Every structure is written in structure tokens, then in C-alpha cells.
Amino acid sequence: MTQNDRWEERCNAIIEYIQVNHRRPSKYKQEDMQMVNWLKYNKKLLHRGLLKEDRKEKLKLLLDLASKYQRVNQYIFVCNTTDDANGELTIPF
């Protein structure tokens, strides 16, 4: 098995994991740690410009898929701002 085959296998495994579980691999779960580390390493290579050309497109597709399941803080303070007659914003408390 070549390195390219291994890379493709890992990438496909992570894509399948995201599609089946509807979430990204968690850095807090032991069984997900290898996937998280693989993603981090390949993102670093991509940003440094060291990732091979044939892998760039596939990794970008994977990152786009993963961004759909980006964790959102459920405790964000949402405040409704309204415009006054004077055009000033008011923040209700």
C-alpha cells in the first residue's frame, strides 16, 4: 500500500465518519483522536503550501463538509437591537 493509498483511505474514512455521525471528529473522544490529528496535520500542510497538488482538492472538499458541522455555542447571548426614531440602536436588558 502506497502513501497515496493510505492518505485516500484516511480521507475517505473521515468523510464517511462525518456523513454517518453528522458531526466532526472530537478531540475529546479517544476513538476520534487519530482523525483529529490527521486533519490538523494536513490543514497545516495546506496552509504552509506543502500539501501535494492532487491532495489539495480532496482536502478542501473534506474541510467544506466538516464546516457544515462546525460546533456552535448554544449559550451565546442573543440580543435584539432595535432602531429608535433618532436612528440610535437600543439594546434591551
- The model's pLDDT over 36-50, given as tens digits with 9 standing for 90+, comes to 999 999 999 999 999
Model pLDDT, residue 70: 84
| Full-model pTM | 0.75
Distance CA 28, CA 30 (A): 6
- The model's pLDDT over 2-19, given as tens digits with 9 standing for 90+, comes to 999 999 999 999 999 999
Nearest to 63 by CA among 47, 49, 52, 82: 47
- The model's pLDDT over 40-92, given as tens digits with 9 standing for 90+, comes to 999 999 999 999 999 999 999 999 999 998 877 666 655 555 555 665 655 55
